[in-house]
Structure 1
């Protein structure tokens, strides 16, 4: 059993942790919740109702008629074509359905769809074609079982849970078709801004961090001061207003049928929260793009795409995580940054979004920084000396010591969990678990924050040293021999290899569009 878990953990890390928790008889889910009346609730049905009520409370309401609402996005007369789907494409998608995922409210399990792909591809093709042609989406594709995922903080507070929608797997297949057609269109027309790195092909957290902080670092090296404002949207995905979203989709020139389909897909949605198999009542979903859907992330990107229009400062976005940056040498520069911040606040108000002011911060970089104050929605932004930006600790001196220590600590905790939770010390069990559960912590976005000090390099390497010693028969060999026998490279060598691969991608590979900004080329 442990060998099977080790082999499958690369694709589904939760398998390992579920196995360990089952051995401990430990269940981690929705804790005892605090109701609005201050009462502690432990019954599953009541907890489901409390969470459903909270998730629904953040939705955005819109005025009934705003068809003439102004939009900053460039309009296009080019219409996307080829939204229709072939039977062969449907069968291929069925064959690649992830069979370990859960079904939606319709109860149709993905394994059934996968194993009957050759049989059901034809009838699904007819259903999909009719849905696309008519712009009508079956009701079963517009309802969701919502699973509350704990984020951080107290488990008794409903606001510390994030809603993830489990929807019809059949509906998701057609969502995938629509998404791919829209992606083809926006790739041809360069619709999505280069400052957006979230949910985009050949862009990532790492490309966002590298591009943004390269500019910060370059200005600091030139002796200039820099101010960076970190912005946090409140419940961004849940508050996207549907009518305003549709205005933007039509404005970029998407095909009429696609727009009609998406509009109907968003209309009259229902959700219910499930806690340990117990359901809440159904509630209407009046705003937002469903978290857990196939289309949701792309629709959010298109909705937020004009955020940077009219902004003179540098804007960097990953999904809803937004940063604003400007060199500051005088109060006039600070006033210009304040003006851009006010424009972003106005954008949010116009499009029925809002910033969580308490979580928005400013970080002052540079020894000669004038430490200006900035206002957002009438409140002075708090000053931060360190931020966790897309999962990476960044401080006002651009030191990576905290990040190195943080990932080493996290990786060691997982390694300890493997040591205590897995009885076997077989190489074929320990190594897959290390590769899939431990090493990713040490290498996430590492081309951005790679250690340079010996103490930091050693702190990371010690994690792998410890991991290789867990393998039976390796205890008495030195580190270099253990690496050789287990077919591993040191983390330092892996980072060097990663640096070279990443550099190639920026200059000649998938990141060339971003690399043109980072590198200058000379013709010989």
Structure 2
């Protein structure tokens, strides 16, 4: 009834009506639309016929040694995350805008709670949630090549809310054995703490001996999120104790992702990717930090400080030691 009232309200913008249309499609509720867009249907059919497959793989999650509890999302969780949506963020390919989710959180929370829990139980992420539109954003004022652009993924606002709930659960379930020198998604830690730690250890080592000195290597990875191999990630997540169903869900989240590129008013054909984590997704930084959590120093004179994909390798050296230890 609420949907029909909104469709008949001429004062509502078309984007709001379209968002309700997409919500009803996701919830499998009957629709009565006053018009259809033949051009959009033709474009959709054309994009579907051009699908390709890149790096598809079927992966299975390794059994964890100490398995955590499964994630069960409550209606209050969904309502809370919907009401905190930033309405100024761009909508994704599904056409559902954040303004509708925020304004109608009470009405939509029960429906999406069922959808989210069913997705987690089955270990399957709907294709409409994984679809993304890539918008190249220039890294410099006058880009001269493709490497001068940063690919930013516009994904479903609903999926971003879903990812936030999954992210909060994972961060609360991480074991105490995690690398203490990873400073993202750790309680009461930030980049300021990473800088303070580097400065403190440097000054402490220099004060210990007159001939002591420090060498630092600052590492910045190119397209770091694209290097994630889903099968290897799910194995590591299982070793950390995450529930098997959540490992399977993350594997599905990262594989068979349809995407297209928009440049101005031009769109590319759709490709299906099964490797890496897209920039712009809420889970990507956390997944990358878990993917590299076992990248630690093997020598007491070397430390590796990480903030997601930003890494510093520090060697504490003396008069008789030149260069970093060979093992590191």
The TM-score range, normalised by the shorter chain, is: 0.7 to 0.9
In structure 1, the partner of 2:12 is none
Contact kept, 8 Å, 2:278 with 2:284, in 1: the verdict is: yes
2:81 to 73, 76, 93: 93
Contact kept, 8 Å, 1:128 with 1:174, in 2: the verdict is: yes
Shift of 1:211: 0.3
- Matches of 1:227 and 1:263, distance apart in 2: 38
> For the structure 1 residues 340 and 164, does the alpha-carbon distance in structure 2 shift closer, same or farther, using more than 3 Å as the test?
farther
Q: Which structure has greater helix proportion?
A: 1
- Matches of 1:148 and 1:254, distance apart in 2: 34
Aligned alpha-carbon RMSD (Å): 2.6
Q: Which runs of 5+ in 1 are unaligned?
A: 1-58, 70-74, 342-524
Please give the residue correspondences for 1:436-455 in structure 2 after superposition, counting only pairs within 5 Å.
Answer: none
Contact kept, 8 Å, 2:135 with 2:154, in 1: the verdict is: yes
In structure 1, the partner of 2:204 is 218
> For the structure 1 residues 67 and 137, does the alpha-carbon distance in structure 2 shift closer, same or farther, using more than 3 Å as the test?
closer
2:278 to 290, 293, 298: 290
Q: How many residues align?
A: 273
In structure 2, the partner of 1:228 is 216
Contact kept, 8 Å, 2:303 with 2:313, in 1: the verdict is: yes
- Matches of 2:244 and 2:61, distance apart in 1: 18
> For the structure 1 residues 233 and 311, does the alpha-carbon distance in structure 2 shift closer, same or farther, using more than 3 Å as the test?
farther
> For the structure 1 residues 200 and 286, does the alpha-carbon distance in structure 2 shift closer, same or farther, using more than 3 Å as the test?
same
| SS of 1:272 mapped into structure 2 | strand
Residue 303 (str. 1) matches residue 291 (str. 2):
yes
2:317 to 301, 312, 328: 328
Please give the residue correspondences for 1:62-461 in structure 2 after superposition, counting only pairs within 5 Å.
Answer: 77-152=65-140, 154-186=142-174, 189-222=175-208, 223=210, 224-308=212-296, 310-312=298-300, 313-330=302-319, 333-334=321-322, 337-341=324-328
What are the superposed Cα offsets for residues 206-258 of structure 1, whole Å, 9 maximum, x if unpaired? 11111012111222234211111222323211111111111111111101111
| SS of 1:270 mapped into structure 2 | strand
| SS of 1:323 mapped into structure 2 | strand
Contact kept, 8 Å, 2:132 with 2:153, in 1: the verdict is: yes
- Matches of 2:90 and 2:242, distance apart in 1: 32
Shift of 1:202: 2.1
Contact kept, 8 Å, 1:289 with 1:296, in 2: the verdict is: yes
What are the superposed Cα offsets for residues 423-448 of structure 1, whole Å, 9 maximum, x if unpaired? xxxxxxxxxxxxxxxxxxxxxxxxxx
Q: Which runs of 5+ in 2 are unaligned?
A: 1-53
Greater Rg, structure 1 or structure 2? Answer: 1
Shift of 1:99: 0.9
TM-score, normalised relative to structure 1 = 0.49
Contact kept, 8 Å, 1:192 with 1:301, in 2: the verdict is: no
- Matches of 1:76 and 1:256, distance apart in 2: 7
- Matches of 2:237 and 2:152, distance apart in 1: 24
> For the structure 1 residues 66 and 273, does the alpha-carbon distance in structure 2 shift closer, same or farther, using more than 3 Å as the test?
closer
- Matches of 1:283 and 1:272, distance apart in 2: 6
Contact kept, 8 Å, 1:80 with 1:182, in 2: the verdict is: no
